[in-house]
Structure 1
Amino acid sequence: MSAAVDQRATVPRPIFPFAALVGQDALREALLLAAVDPALGGVLITGPRGTAKSTSARALVELLPEGRMVTLPLGATEERLIGTLDVQAALSEGRVVFAPGLLAQAHRGVLYVDEVNLLPDVLVDALLDVAASGVNTVEREGISHSHEASFVLIGTMNPEEGELRPQLIDRFGLMVELENCFDPAVRQQIVQARLAFEADPAAYRARFANAQVELAQRVKHARLALPSLAFSDEVHARVSAICIEAGVDGLRADLVMLRAARALAALEGAQAIALAHVDRVAEAALRHRRKDRGPQPPTREPAPSQAQDDRHDRGGTGAAEPAPATREGDWGYLPPEPVGMAEAKKLRPVLPKP
């Protein structure tokens, strides 16, 4: 009995085919671009519950050469993520003994991080650094070991459960914000697809087998074509202009946008990177980096009901009261002004005669 249970536990869960995803065009394109060029820095997917964030991430795995997916659990330690070194073996035997972590296991596959906003900052910073460089380095007691770790990083989060610090969000290459679907026809199509998949996963996957193979071939050929696509001065100028207009910090947005435009051109089999490729990837590259440099809104006044409650707490009658005197340098402070003698006489009090 126990053996049968163990055997069933090893059966992998069927994956919803990427070619069958309905809607969310921006998400599907961003995931494909990250599959073509993992050095983009991954994709951050935000949105409410039930918007197929996890389903889309898992579906991408089958389009990659290795077809491997590693999930980073919320309770993972830094050593579990980056790996560990046996310092004693290095000191006593003079050899480096490295125990691979999740980053090594995800090489040439997908590293999936659900609820990335709930991870400790040190883990998020470490995995983003490796995702961009493609190399993981572990150092302990003056001993170091490096290995390749090229993977497609996919992080998902629900903004209602907390945000990532701006410094960490900026490290993600692309960002896509999902919204609830309020189109009845699209909702019906999504639900029907899900029900059909759950009723008979094998039969449903067979319907999209050819489309899956075609997508996987496109990703493979696009990866090979990347080195042959050069950035023209015109493309550089467009990227610079867009980033300056968005008011982004640093040059990471420029680099990501150029890489994404090149990945898109390769995915479409284009012979050169066009301005249209830049324009199509600009939103995903800037959504989490764009700044609003317009005038700041004025300080909000307390609501009338709140102001009245405050006066009531101070024992007031509810009538308007003058603002208390403030120190020099405070907002609203007015310096004293000289008054002429004629005005001073008018203000002199009249004393009664003895």
Structure 2
Amino acid sequence: MSLRYPFSAIAGQDELKEALLLTAVDPLIGGLLAFGDRGTGKSTAVRALAALLPEIRAASCPYHCDPDSPASQCDACRSGGPIKVRRIPIPVVDLPLGATEDRVLGALNLERALSHGEKTFEPGLLAQANRGYLYVDEVNLLEDHIVDLLLDVAASGENVVEREGLSVRHPARIVLVGSGNPEEGELRPQLLDRFGLSLEVRTPGDPALWVEIVKRRDAFERDPPAFLARWAPEEEKIRRRIVKARRGLAATEVPDAVLERAAALCIHLKTDGLRGQLTLMRAARALAAFEGAKRVGDEHLRRMATPSLRHRLRRNPLDETGSATRIARAVAEVLGA
């Protein structure tokens, strides 16, 4: 198994790292889309997150169901028999651009069908990613029929496969993370709306930061075990913060006044639907929990407004400013400077 670059050692992409951590605190935020320049650490950050996250309790089934949540279990786990429980890392699964529909959804196990005459289901990538992350690099280049599959699963949290005489239904609660270069094409609006947070990742402009990034990467490549040992205390510190934030999330208060200001902000920006406000509320609450606050305040709304809403704005042909600038103006008007 190859060693992954430590999450805490990533320099210069604080907004991306914070957004990823918030999806770990509250998966209901709805995933993350990171568009920007090549070579800015997007893929590195996502894969580093896998090694950082605390392990989860899982059933010994192909879908690693939650043993404490019967409503989200597969048929085998709900059958009433004893569930064997194990601890596993949170899944982080790559979805290749060329993946077939069968590879994504799962399909008939042809080997067993031909050799034993048995119709058995071979789980796909969605099964592997259940209760974890499904990562799509160059997400804007995905084929349309795969996008449609992801839309269905993201909406229902369940994968349904009916083919070759098989009828299988299993949980597929995934956090969808996508990255890409906007120069290679835009994302379909239906899929764009399914991402909770959206970030624009740019190449750092500080020479000192460039030097630090290169030095760290070079140190990792020359002696990975030593580099990992050096950053292990920071990794453990972040891991403990995630665990603590998860435990405190339900008790983190979102005052009505904050909800009203979030609604006013969305109305001011003319965002479509209510998903933007839901995401803004969840992201602000996760941020408050991660920072140890007991209640959400205006500062949490300010920090989460741009990543929660930038991809939900209607295009205004009379306003050539970017979405981040429009949101900053609206935040200043609604929440004050």
- Look up the match of 1:272: 295
Distance verdict in 2 for CA 1:224–1:296, change over 3 Å: closer
Asked if residue 43 in structure 1 is aligned to residue 43 in structure 2, the reply is no
Q: What's the TM-score once normalised by structure 2's chain length?
A: 0.76
Q: Which residue of 2 aligns with 1:72?
A: 95
Distance in 2 separating the partners of 1:85 and 1:229: 45
Is 2:46 the counterpart of 1:57?
yes
Query: How far apart are the structure 1 equivalents of 2:120 and 2:297?
Result: 48
Q: Distance in 1 between matches of 2:304 and 2:101?
A: 33
Unaligned runs of 5+ in 2: 56-88, 113-117, 321-337
Residues 253 and 294, structure 2, Cα contact 8 Å, conserved in 1: no
Larger-Rg structure: 1
How far the C-alpha of 1:225 sits from its partner, in A, is 2.3
Match of 1:98 among 98, 103, 121: 121
Residue 240 of structure 1: how far off its partner (Å):
0.7
Which amino acid in 2 is paired with 1:81? V
Q: 1:28 aligns with which of 6, 17, 22?
A: 17
SS of residue paired to 1:138? strand
Evaluate the alpha carbon distance shift between residue 48 and residue 84 of structure 1 in structure 2; reply closer, same or farther with a 3 A threshold. Answer: same
Superposition deviation, residue 229 in structure 1: 2.7
Which residue, 99, 124, 135 being the options, matches 2:158?
135
Q: Which has the higher strand share?
A: 2
Q: Secondary structure at the match of 2:312?
A: coil
> Is the contact between residue 138 and residue 144 of structure 1 (CA under 8 Å) also seen in structure 2?
yes
Is residue 228 of structure 2 the alignment partner of residue 186 of structure 1? Answer: no
C-alpha displacement at 1:115, in angstroms?
Answer: 0.7
TM-score (norm 1): 0.73
Aligned residue runs from structure 1 range 307-322, under 5 A: none
Aligned-partner Cα distance in 2 for 1:294–1:159: 19
Residue type matched to 1:44 in 2? L
- The answer to whether the 8 A contact 2:19-2:197 is kept is yes
Matched residue type, 1:63: L
State the Cα distance separating 1:67 from its structure 2 match. Answer: 4.0
Alignment of 1:62-211 (within 5 A): 62-64=51-53, 65=55, 66-84=89-107, 97-131=120-154, 133-140=156-163, 144-211=167-234
Correspondence for 1:320: none
DSSP 3-state at the match of 1:84: strand
Q: Number of aligned residue pairs: give it.
A: 281
- Any residues of structure 2 matched to 1:222-241 within 5 Å, and which? 222-241=245-264
Stretch of structure 1 that moved more, 137-146 or 268-277? 137-146
Tell me: CA distance 1:231–1:144, structure 2 relative to 1, closer, same or farther (3 Å): farther
Identity %: 53
Contact 1:174 1:285 in 2 (8 A): yes
Deviations 1:252-291 (A, max 9, x none): 1111111111111121122122222122111001111123
Q: CA deviation at 1:227?
A: 2.3
The aligned runs of 1:322-341 (5 Å cut-off) are none
8 Å Cα contact 2:137-2:179 kept in structure 1 = yes
CA contact (8 A) 1:39 1:133 kept: no
Tell me, in whole angstroms, the C-alpha distance in 1 between the residues paired with 2:245 and 2:119. 37
CA drift of 1:221 comes to 2.3
Contact 2:25 2:246 in 1 (8 A): yes
SS at match of 1:181: coil
Alpha-carbon offset, residue 79 of structure 1: 2.2
Q: Relative to 1, partners in 2 of residues 1:220 and 1:146: Cα closer, same or farther, differing over 3 Å? A: farther
